[in-house]
Amino acid sequence: MSYDNNNNKDNKKKLNVLFFGIDSLRRDHMSLYGYKRQTTPNIAKYLSDGVVFENCFSPSVPTTPGYSSMMTGLDIFSTDVVALRHEGDLAPGVKTLAEILGGQGYNTTCVGFQGNVGGRGYQKYIDFDGWFADRGDGRAHKAENLNDVAIPELDRLAKIYKDEDKPFFLFLRHMDPHALYLPPQPFVKMFYQGNEFDPNNKSLNELYQFKPFRDFFLSWFPAGCTDSEYIIAQYDAAVAYMDLCIQSILEKLSALGIEEETLVVFTSDHGETHYDHDCLFDHHGTYEPTLVVPFAFKLKGCGCGGTRIADYCQLKDVTPTLLDILGIDAGIKFDGRDLVDIVKGKTIKQEPEMYITEATWMRKHGWRTPEWKLIIALEPDFHFKPAVELYNLINDPLENNNIADKEPEVVKFLTDRMNAFIAKREKETGRTNPMVTNAAKWNGFGKAFESSEEAYNSLHIGDPAEAQKLQAKLAELGVEIK
């Protein structure tokens, strides 16, 4: 097997990159990774002769640090980015994958990710309606809207590639797994045939009482919905809808006749929490549903068909790995590892432990090993969670039993390892941990929260006026909105 950059049909042209950077896609809800529902059959079929990493993590959530790490090959200490609402640029001297490839003569286009520091450096930006995306039916046609602009752009870039030997990097930010989960017909009931309005089902009551988020959910949940499983099924259906639309792009790539000259990549900035850990259909919390992401790629004809790799990897490994496949030496000392040797059946230094962070609706950090998950609050959170959480991921993979009080020695051991890592990275980068330096502005209020009550009463998303219209229906079903 060879990843020689010139190992293609005419032995002259550089490889293109078609990059699916899918927002909020959790690995364990993809049939590609064995999920019980057929959510990604087209992606799975396409990657049947590709490379699939089975244990990829986004250790720093949410979107902004996730994409920043993915697109630079660096961790948060090097990018200086940890917060969703990050202010300013990447750290001085940091280059993005788009900037690196642009400097190598690539045409670079980004669809759907303008204005975020993690999406910096493209020559061309194209927007699409990736949020409500209503086409008159009250449903979100996000992936169709992306296809409407992405497929013509792929056509344009492919023509330049053929006519002028100028390769391309096309980045597509799909938004379908990101709330709102409103897939169009016929996907709506694809994975659910129950009664989402059953008055005896109380599984959403807790959500409807959660003041910071309830107005947001009331604005797009079906009026009177009572079943949390229906909402989870909508997430899965949105992924399946997106998967079908992605097939159109893959088919277009084949029709253009450039598959063997195009590296196709799939990954995500972070996962998504559904009804776990009180995080309520969002991507905050450093629990497993938010940290698990897919990473897979395919270069047709490379001879790596059907390779599945169990080694742990992280988003910071994406850029150095892709650059090796492309045959590009960027002259950068990446924090991430080049994973190509693993694909070739060789071994590289393992990295089974990782520093985990979040600065989205809560500000926390911690340490994850294959066995243990330590989470430490850097300030009180709006879920009123304990300041220290410890989970045994082998005995308690769903992280339901906090054993911090029962295992103080383990807490100390992991805390010491985490602090030693922080000190090492601070020394290497010459800057303080951004989880500290971003403390004042991470939440948009200009200061850290002093109590959970303050956080609960300060943080809010959604439209109260729109939500008010739906509350009467819920009241009829016995769900009291306080």
**Separation between Cα atoms, residue 478 and residue 176, nearest integer Å:** 32
pLDDT > 80? residue 468: no
**Separation between Cα atoms, residue 185 and residue 9, nearest integer Å:** 41
Peptide bond into 459 cis (omega under 30): no
CB 57 within 8 A of CB 293: yes
Percent of the chain with pLDDT over 90: 83
pLDDT > 60? residue 479: no
**Separation between Cα atoms, residue 198 and residue 224, nearest integer Å:** 9
pLDDT band at residue 463, thresholds of 50, 70 and 90? low
pLDDT > 60? residue 482: no
CA 381, 61, 356 angle in degrees (round to 5)?
Answer: 80
What pLDDT does residue 9 have? 43
Q: How far is C-alpha 104 from the geometric centre of its chain's CA atoms?
A: 27
pLDDT > 80? residue 480: no
Give the residue ranges of DSSP H helices in 47-193: 63-70, 76-79, 97-103, 142-164
pLDDT > 90? residue 200: yes
- Each residue of 264-300: pLDDT tens digit? 999 999 999 998 898 999 999 999 999 999 999 999 8
Neighbouring-strand partners of residue 267: 21, 295
pLDDT > 80? residue 478: no
Fold of the domain built from segment(s) 356-476 = Arylsulfatase, C-terminal domain (3.30.1120)
- Each residue of 371-420: pLDDT tens digit? 999 999 999 999 999 999 999 999 999 999 999 999 999 999 999 999 99
Q: Which of 40-49, 427-436, 460-469 has the lowest mean pLDDT?
A: 460-469
CB 266 within 8 A of CB 296: yes
Higher pLDDT, 463 or 120: 120
The 8-class DSSP code of residue 357 comes to E
User: Do the strands 292-298 and 51-57 form a parallel or antiparallel pair, or are they unpaired?
Assistant: antiparallel
The 8-class DSSP code of residue 34 comes to T
Token pair in block for residue 106: 């690539």
- Each residue of 130-164: pLDDT tens digit? 877 678 888 999 999 999 999 999 999 999 999 99
- Sign of torsion, CA 65 69 75 79? negative
- Each residue of 321-348: pLDDT tens digit? 999 999 999 999 999 999 999 998 888 8
Q: Which of 257-271, 299-313, 350-364 has the lowest mean pLDDT?
A: 299-313
Closest C-alpha among 13, 12, 15 to residue 302: 15
CB 359 within 8 A of CB 444: no
- Each residue of 428-451: pLDDT tens digit? 999 999 999 987 778 888 889 999
Beta strands in 274-386 (DSSP E): 292-298, 307-314, 354-359, 363-368, 372-377
**Separation between Cα atoms, residue 47 and residue 107, nearest integer Å:** 25
Q: How many CB atoms lie within 10 A of CB 482?
A: 6
CB-count exposure of residue 317 (10 Å: 0-12, 13-18, 19+): buried
Phi, psi (rounded to 5 degrees) for 60: -125, 105
**Separation between Cα atoms, residue 227 and residue 447, nearest integer Å:** 37
**Separation between Cα atoms, residue 119 and residue 112, nearest integer Å:** 9
- Sign of torsion, CA 218 221 225 227? negative
Give the residue ranges of DSSP H helices in 256-364: 288-291, 318-326, 340-343
Q: Which of 243-247, 309-313, 345-349, 409-413 has the lowest mean pLDDT?
A: 345-349
Percent of the chain with pLDDT over 70: 92
Kindly state the average pLDDT of the residues 107-124.
95
pLDDT > 50? residue 473: no
CB-count exposure of residue 316 (10 Å: 0-12, 13-18, 19+): buried
- Each residue of 156-180: pLDDT tens digit? 999 999 999 999 999 999 999 999 9
pLDDT > 50? residue 424: yes
Closest C-alpha among 38, 21, 44 to residue 240: 38
Enter the CATH code of domain 16-351. Answer: 3.40.720.10
What pLDDT does residue 476 have? 53
Give the largest CA-CA distance in the chain.
Answer: 69
Q: How many CB atoms lie within 10 A of CB 209?
A: 12
Beta strands in 227-362 (DSSP E): 262-268, 292-298, 307-314, 354-359
Phi-psi region of 106 (alpha: psi -120 to 50; beta: other; left: phi over 0): beta
Domain boundaries, the chain: 16-351, 356-476
What pLDDT does residue 5 have? 44
What pLDDT does residue 169 have? 98
pLDDT band at residue 6, thresholds of 50, 70 and 90? very low
pLDDT band at residue 2, thresholds of 50, 70 and 90? very low
